[in-house]
Amino acid sequence: MVTWFEKRRHHRLTAALQINYERMKAEPDKSEKHKGFTENISMGGLFFICNEPPIETLRIDDVVSISIKIPRHNYDLSWTNTLQARGKVVRIEPLPDRPKSFGVALKFLEDLRFVNS
């Protein structure tokens, strides 16, 4: 008999939320913001989909700054609807069922926090 064991530390929430991300560089004036959508998110990290080849913008172990937009109409978020954090890229993979799309897994380096948007 085969049993399945969950190795993840945190429960994942499946959610398609808009994400903006940029690679943290030594030269902040050269930062470029990119867009994507979360596929799932947890307290430990997230997995997001982007339509540009990450190989040009991201590499494994890169640190990125992310901001996630939460729809205001779904929640009482009168003062903000943006979560922010920094994360480390742990995996990048092509998505065979979505041509020209890539999945990126991030491990959070700090807690998610609400910020004024």
Q: What is the pLDDT of residues 14-65, one digit of tens each?
A: 989 999 999 987 566 666 889 999 999 999 999 999 987 666 778 999 999 9
Query: What pLDDT score was predicted for residue 77?
Result: 61
Look at residue 4 and tell me if it is in a domain: no
Q: What is the DSSP string of 60-92?
A: TT-EEEEEEE--GGGS--SS--EEEEEEEEEEE
- Pairwise CA distance, residues 110 & 71, whole Å: 23
Look at residue 77 and tell me if it is in a domain: yes
pLDDT of 68 above 70: yes
Look at residue 7 and tell me if it is in a domain: no
Look at residue 5 and tell me if it is in a domain: no
Look at residue 34 and tell me if it is in a domain: yes
Provide the CATH number for the domain around residue 71.
2.40.10.220
Q: Which domain holds residue 71?
A: 13-115
Residue of 80, 78, 75 whose CA lies nearest to 113: 80
Which helix or strand (DSSP H or E) is residue 14 part of?
A: strand 13-14
Number of domains in the chain: 1
Look at residue 48 and tell me if it is in a domain: yes
Look at residue 95 and tell me if it is in a domain: yes
Confidence grade of residue 9 (pLDDT, cut at 50, 70, 90): low
Look at residue 98 and tell me if it is in a domain: yes
Average model confidence (pLDDT) for the chain?
83
